[in-house]
Structure 1
């Protein structure tokens, strides 16, 4: 400070300097608080890739919030987010999880309750989907897309073979169709199904297949019922069908791999998630967009059984340190406005499916997506808690709604994949699976 400044002015200068310093520190702290990075874990499915591409639109309207994506293959995602949330590690602020995890984790108090404002319009979410993300009428995740299951087929191949898809196909008919349209010399495979091991990969399909063949995972008293006649019939159908009419290396094919095979013209039929419709009918992503037909999921000997209902949801772990920012992101990414944004940027056929009634009521979506009414009806009538041929102590259609199923389903998925690859027989595989399930149930005190 200059020597000629008076004592009074020296005091004023010190007060001014301290005030300026305090103000600048406060501003710096506020800026630091506002500049938040959310880490979002998601699966590498097409709809989630679009969400990442559109993230800059969120960041424009929410300055100071930045999104860091961790995009993982489905089995890896499940392992990572389960480990993170169970240990309260806090690596992720938003997780992409299914309606399998939501009720289990919410009851463990691992998830934050989500409370969208009135403009979000929770009542617009289709009732079965809304039920799957709620516990005691409180919402613990928001659905990005939802699905049931359907049969996709190539209309040109059916016409060439002189066959017609049944309005409600049976699994016997599916096998007959596959035999007639398979042309391995031209790399056209009549039947594509999930073969990649995992509780949410091959076992999601296998569980629904077993249901309609009259089987189930557990009987009364939580006794494992894997090594039974319905399981043998279902798994034999699956293994023999893929060996005769499926692509090579089927144990490497999950949802995404089969989607790529069908979209590139190598699958004659594919039984899988209804969400694939938006991708297969999109000429930007599918070489066979003009030649795709669809029908209900096939029925087996039992015919009835629980029906597939799945949703991929955005949830906020209780361990996140950025709760408000995370709520802002998950509401944006699942909102009506986001649906409109995808429609503007990618076309109506590419919007997230299966969640909002307003999407299915939109004439532009109905025109772009010929499968729209079929899918909405499949989701609205899905019955994941329906009866199996014999009484069962659990709920779920393509999974068992218990925490132990991640381990059980993964173990059995690997055993079934070994049968599919020819390393073991179906009978040997099911004996091994029965022992594995029984052992895990006993070790985890399933049923008491």
Structure 2
């Protein structure tokens, strides 16, 4: 993962709509115009309702160096949003009686710790305990080089288990890499072939496939991070993530996929219910997305400096996909703005950011423990951003709200630092825990 310098501007828009459940296109257009002018976001969005495209927009450059503009047909690496596709393929294999959810993985990967206890279902909903492969020393400097299946399995097999299978959960790309290998073994086909045969061709997706080296001539885009200007990022080799994060697509195709998935056109409705059953915050390749009284589902992704998001609200048949090849402004804030517009909820979009003093950030760094909370919180800094790491398992960015106060907008967790007392207060699901610095 690369963490980049961020740019601070001041701008505020306020959305208030009468109840109609129709998008105010002008206001959304104004948002994207502002994001483009202020160099806060490059990418595309598509919103569909009941299979009909009701809004799309693209801003920024597919290639800064050649000044090639992004369009609605521009394609992006979608990172971990790939996992929804992979989960669907696995559940389809279960329907075809190729494998079962309760089947353990030791026949495929006997050298992986606890493989005789880990089930395919555990891999799907991140309850395996297998450590994150990208934490391996082999990927300390990224993964621009090709890795064979044998090399990858050897790397994962060396990892120590984080917990007893199915005793808890933690997100790990290792799970979906292994699921990809299982799919390839049981079908004797590549993941790319399975994706093409079981999803792309049946749904007539025109801009979705397993990724390779980026090709601008094929309407693909490079990715960028912002440091006074957009800087081109390196390209990860897709042999490393495979079904955990290697798909290339665009928002229109992604919306078609998620719509058809929830209509039972890829897997059965019974399999979909299994996929969307949430256990310890995790479904099978998907997460729950509450929005006021509405219930949706979502997955987001990141690879290189590409980011993506794919969400669906079944009752409303509302699909939204966002892809980016360069972002300072978080895509969730864009999603919230669009959902607020659609569902007629007031929402203030602020591009004003609080930028902490470097010395203040240094005072927050270190390990924190609490007698009331089982995990140690380690606060680290990369460039001008803070990260919280929970017992070397769950790393997430915390963004500044005001002096001493930070939040993670995806999880809703908040941290308030009290440096004079060498303490922090961690808020999770409305509960507050006091931690002391070691």
Q: TM-score, normalised by structure 2?
A: 0.27
Which structure shows the bigger proportion of residues in helix conformation?
A: 1
If you compute each CA radius of gyration, which structure gives the higher value, 1 or 2? 1
Which structure shows the bigger proportion of residues in strand conformation?
A: 2
